[in-house]
Amino acid sequence: MKQIFVDIDKCTGCLTCTLACAAEHSSSKDIVGAMLEKVQPRISVEAVNGKAVPLMCRHCEEPTCVDACMTGAMQKDKETGIVSNENNDQSCIGCWMCIMACPYGAIQPNEEEGIAIKCDKCNGREVPACVESCHTGALLYVDGKTFTQEKLTKTAKALTEAS
Amino acid sequence: MSDCKTCPSVDNCYSAHETVNQMQERLDDMGVDTVFTRYEKQQPQCGFGMQGVCCQLCSHGPCRITPKASKGICGASADTIVARNLVRLTTHGVAAYSHHLEELAKTIKATANGKTPYKIQDEGKLREIAKVAGLDLNKTANELAEQLADVILSDLRKDSGEPLAMLELFAPETRKKVWRELGVIPGGVHSEIRDALTKTMSNINTDPIDLLLTSLRLSIATGYTGLVATVTLQDILLGTPEVTESEADLGIIDPDTVNIVAHGHVPLVATAVLGAIESDEMIKYAKEAGANGIKVYGSMCTGQELMQRKGTTASNYSGQLGNWLSQEHHIATGAIDLVMMDMNCSIPGMKSVADKFHTKLVSVDRILRMEGVKDNVDYDPEKVEEQAKELVKMAVDTYKKRDKGKVQIPGHKSAAVAGFSVESILGALGGSLDPLLDEIKKGNIKGIAAVVGCTNNRNGHDDKGLTIMKEFIKNDVLVIAAGCMSSGAEIEGLMLPSAADQAGDGLKAVCNALGVPPVLNFGSCVDIGRIGAAVTAIAGALGVDPSQLPVVASAPEYLEQKAIADGIFAVSFGLLTHLGPVPPVTGSPLVTKVLTEDIEGLTGGKVLVEEDPVKAVEKMLAHIEKKRQGLGI
Amino acid sequence: MQYVIIGNSAAGTQAAETIRKYDSAGNIVIISDEPHAAYSRCLLPDYLAGERSEKTILFKSANFYGRNNVATMFGKKAVDIDSENQKVYLGDGHTVSYDKLLIATGSSAFVPPIKGIDESGIFNLRNLDDAVGIKEAAKKARRVVVVGGGFVGLEAAYSLYSLGLEVTVVERLSQIVPGQFDVKAAAILRNDMQAEGIRIITGDGIKEIAGPSLWNRLFNKTGKGVLLDSGERLKCELVVVATGTRANVGLTDKTGIKVNRGIEINEYMETNVPNIYAAGDVAETVDVVSGELGLSPIWPNAIVQGRMAGLNMVGQTRKYSKMIGMQNSVEFRNVPAIAIGLTRTPDDCEEMVIHRPHLNYYRKLILKDDILKGMIFVGDIRRAGVYAALIKKKVPVTKFKQQLLKESFGYSSIIS
């Protein structure tokens, strides 16, 4: 199963991925339209001492957000592995339990609509929009196995240290 | 931020100054953003822009150089884009300096014709310069002043092929030779600006080397007009600085007076306002409003100009509040009635803070407009006497709306010695630079560091600048400061003779003997021209080129385009020039290499980029040592 | 193999789903005293407000039981367990045999002994039938008194307010949400509710609830009087009592299962009686912050406990890793708030605070020896889960302590 991986050293903080994400989740499907529609990106780029660090949902194996969801809206799809609170039988009510549960801070409140929003891997898009837009190669959409061992170890280390 | 952990703001520390942190806490509590919190919200910042490889000139763009796109759509390389962007930044700096100079020259002409409240203050300097310029010294001071102003206005307006008169008159011969060989002797400033902007249109000049040389030309034009000529004319009109003492930091604000802040760079309106507040009419007006009087404080370089002239035309100036990064925090005291903003460096964020209090913001320059600011009293030399009164009245009227319950003035303030210039130093040394040169030769003073320029939150407000100054004096390097760096040093007491205690033994002894601080206040950022004059004088006295001197320049917190022009000028002038924040050139291997290495073989100067202040000083000390060895001292 | 699960909410259904994942052949039976498919109790206030229907408060898909081949015995109350013969007795006299039994009976509303509290027109809000009853009664009511200023009480208050009723909340303690938030957070939430027009009385108890006088009853009037300890009398037509819950441990009486405030279980979700497990609000587990055994009646923990019980019942032995017993997220009106772990600072702990009540903004972190023990965010709840992870994993924060209160603090601040 393909995952979005981050090669942190390559991220330059241009935020193009956040714009591409907003565009993909807008009805106009373009950046200008997404800004007019005020679409909130689902990927964020945090900064640590000025260094940019892209952050989005990792679609965990045992997602704490799914456990925390009291409406049943947040589900992990058995086939695709995508964790999403959209297009499921139940709908999100904006109780923010998932925000309280996600150790990565990858779920954002959309206060306008009163729902939580998160990465849905562009819901079936061949390559997620953020990855496609990344100019530096900091975002990768690959099978876990093809991601170099070194980088996997690095990511895994970061995950275990902090999750 | 700073690691001092000594003040109560340790959990909310943005600034090296406790008072600014206190006001920041207050603004945080009011839910008002400031430059500090907006900076945090801007993180992370785009790496393409930081490296200078973003080009937005044409509608094919924006383009940026990335691992998968090594050229812009037009084929421009990273080197071209970076060099071209750098020219545009420098051009902006030159243009802004020429605006300042032009306002000043026009004021001198109007003054010479008796149409302003100003008077020619330093006739000696006028005649000295007029002599060098070859003017007829039999003329009256007013006639000479008008002629000198015309010489300078002509320098601004002549063709790009005609060399600058000011450069011809004031640059060391050795420098002229270097610049002539490089083909970077600039012509008329406005023509240079026209050429530079034309060159940097898409697809006109795409040669990075020629573009870099264009930046040098522009910076040299800045040096001899925007800096040297401006300082000269301001001294003639407003008086050459004399050593004097003043105060700095928010603790100087008087809660019982009408308080006006002179903010910006051009001290003309501010000087007129200092005149107006002495008038019986205005004093009476203020008393009727219930105030104890009227005070004018300085902010940024306008304040620095006034402080430098506290011994001459600004005797009733009440002291310096702070610098660029703290302009919002001055207003947060709730005790500022009016901020008069001249020319550049008035940030829109000031308005958001002013809206939380009663404070009125007024533009006093025709080119400055700010969203939400309705009052504009555009400087007109022939009307400035009335304009000054109008401003004072506005301040008094605003004072009436002041909510005394919202006034919160931090306690700290510091005394500061100011008014250093070539002339006042010569005066203090008995008419000759020799005593100073002797100390340098003996090694009691290892060298001189000009710590200048802006203040920048990228590395913490004044934190890096102050560390650099302290490291320098600790290592027996005399610091001369100008611009926002001066304000920072004043507030932290480095511009007091007692600060010599923080200096190395050699410098300490010299300072104690002369009764001067180890960090000399040279004034505003324009006064970098004064530093240039001092370095020229020292080089002249030793019979060497400036690039041979144990002198370095550091702009540890440089911020905007004028500083870019200044920095490149310092490199052109032959100085090792340290920049704190990394300038947006690193995307071009060529430009980076030229500015940080190759250019030393051409001008003798180069850019040193080092964000760690202690390491930066180590590198500059090594440079000073190398130059000392070169001179055999 | 016969798996019997008593309780049809978060823990029960999660256990059933988990068991089925590993055992496709065994029988799974869910017994519930409620006649409904699994619905989310947390959504009852939304149901009350008319924002969700009986259908949209279901947290499992309609075909959940069929797909997982789970037999349901709804509307039947389990009243006793014969642990020796491994049988569950139902209220209607039937028995159900089990090989493995999960008690996930949750909790019930606690009704304080107040004079007149058992009169008609007085409701709890614990299950769907309660909500249906309140909704019906609200149609004829103009004023409501909500007894108890906890989560349920305030959510009920806000729902009834949005139906157009005049609402008064009475809380015996000096602050609202005393179990979940500290005084400062409660004050901000209270102001937010009051700004809407809901009256909140704190520090006052209910002395008596008086029904309509005989005279009024003759005219079919339902007006009541709620008499407070302070002497104030509140008139209303409807009373909602939300004064906390008690674990449903009644059916363990004759089993020898160890019960404190709830059923004590080990880290494999086992009770002290063989083949009997417990999970959810009824179970007592060890809290990661305090290290003590106690109830943790919150949704996410019930789900995880249900899953762990299922795994262990089906032979996939797995240890339950300690959870944070108290985690609450709430947004009554406009101001979101989250509290995790400790909310009141013990003497031996350090506190980091930003308190800006006029901006509806409050952040408090409680630390001991640079280990985060608890947090409260009011106004801006973004990235709260990152802090929860720090609390749960006991990550020392020394390296990034100065960044902790900043809005920019996030996961990347930890890994860098």
The pLDDT assigned to B11 comes to 64
**Six token digits for residue B57:** 């000139």
Q: Is residue C15 part of a domain?
A: yes
Q: Is residue C328 part of a domain?
A: no
The pLDDT assigned to A49 comes to 81
Helix (H) or strand (E) holding C3: strand C2-6
What number does CATH give the domain B78-238?
A: 1.20.1270.30
**C380 and C402 share a domain?**
yes
d(CA A55, CA C197): 41
Q: State pLDDT tens for residues C304-353.
A: 999 999 999 999 999 998 899 889 999 988 899 999 999 999 999 999 99
Q: Is residue C391 part of a domain?
A: yes
Angle (CA) B13 B17 B20, round 5°: 75
d(CA A135, CA B64): 9
Partners of A14 on chain B (C-beta within 8 Å) are 46-49, 64
Chains in contact with A, where contact means 3 or more Cβ–Cβ distances below 8 Å, are B, C
Chains in contact with B, where contact means 3 or more Cβ–Cβ distances below 8 Å, are A, C
Considering the candidates C1, C26, C42, C368, report the single residue annotated as catalytic: C42
Residue of A nearest to C60 (CA): A72
**What mean pLDDT do residues C262-288 have?**
96
Angle separating helix axes B189-199 and B78-112, nearest 10 degrees: 160
Average pLDDT over all residues of chain A: 89
**C129 and C230 share a domain?**
yes
Q: State pLDDT tens for residues A73-118.
A: 999 999 999 999 999 989 999 999 999 999 999 999 998 899 999 9
Sequence spans of domains, chain A: 1-56+119-163, 58-118
User: Taking the CA of residue B453 as centre, how many other CA atoms within 13 Å lie in the half-sphere pointing to its CB?
Assistant: 35
Assess whether the region B250-406 and the region B420-631 belong to the same CATH fold.
yes
The pLDDT assigned to C336 comes to 96
The pLDDT assigned to C220 comes to 65
Q: Is residue C195 part of a domain?
A: yes
CB contact under 8 A, C402 and B43: no
The interface pTM score, or ipTM, of the predicted complex is 0.92
The answer to whether the CB of C134 falls within 8 A of the CB of C156 is yes
**C102 and C6 share a domain?**
yes
Sequence spans of domains, chain B: 78-238, 250-406, 420-631
The pLDDT assigned to C145 comes to 96
Q: State pLDDT tens for residues B67-107.
A: 889 999 999 999 999 999 999 999 999 999 999 999 999 99
Phi, psi of B248, deg, nearest 5: -145, 160
Average pLDDT over all residues of chain C: 94
**Six token digits for residue C194:** 């009051």
pLDDT band, residue B156 (cuts 50/70/90): very high
Partners of B44 on chain A (C-beta within 8 Å) are 13, 15, 45-47, 50-53
Task: Give the number of B-C residue pairs with CB atoms closer than 8 Å.
Answer: 15
**C262 and C187 share a domain?**
no
- C236 is a catalytic site residue: no
**Six token digits for residue B302:** 């306008």
Distance from CA of C365 to the nearest CA of B (A): 13
Q: State pLDDT tens for residues B479-529.
A: 999 999 999 999 999 999 999 999 999 999 999 999 999 999 999 999 999
pLDDT band, residue C131 (cuts 50/70/90): very high
Contacts of residue C320, defined as CB under 8 A and 6 or more positions apart, other chains included, come to C267, C268, C269, C285, C304, C305, C308
Domains: count for chain C: 3
Closest Cβ–Cβ partner in B48, B67, B458 for A14: B48
Helix (H, G, I), strand (E, B) or coil at B175: helix
- What CATH number did the domain enclosing C280 receive? 3.50.50.60
Q: Is residue C105 part of a domain?
A: yes
The pLDDT assigned to B567 comes to 96
Q: In the CATH hierarchy, which fold is given to the domain comprising B420-631?
A: Rossmann fold (3.40.50)
Partners of B49 on chain A (C-beta within 8 Å) are 14
Closest Cβ–Cβ partner in B11, B28, B40 for C408: B40
The residues of chain A scoring below 70 in pLDDT are 145-163
Average pLDDT over all residues of chain B: 95
CATH (one of 3.40.50.2030, 3.30.930.10, 3.40.50.20, 3.40.250.10) for B250-406? 3.40.50.2030
The pLDDT assigned to B2 comes to 44
Residue C283 structural domain: 2-42+56-109+245-313
Interface list for B 438-477 with A (CB within 8 A): 458
Looking at residue B454, what DSSP letter applies?
-
| Level-2 CATH architecture, domain A58-118 | 2-Layer Sandwich (3.30)
Domain boundary among C224, C241, C258: C241
**C249 and C102 share a domain?**
yes
Q: State pLDDT tens for residues C5-64.
A: 999 999 999 999 999 999 999 999 999 999 999 999 999 999 999 999 999 999 998 899
Question: Which DSSP string corresponds to C246-282?
Answer: EE--GGGTTTT--BSSSEE--TTSB-SSTTEEE-GGG
- What is the number of other CB atoms lying within 10 angstroms of the CB of residue B383? 15
**C265 and C190 share a domain?**
no
Partners of C407 on chain B (C-beta within 8 Å) are 40
| Level-2 CATH architecture, domain A1-56+119-163 | 2-Layer Sandwich (3.30)
Q: Is residue C337 part of a domain?
A: no
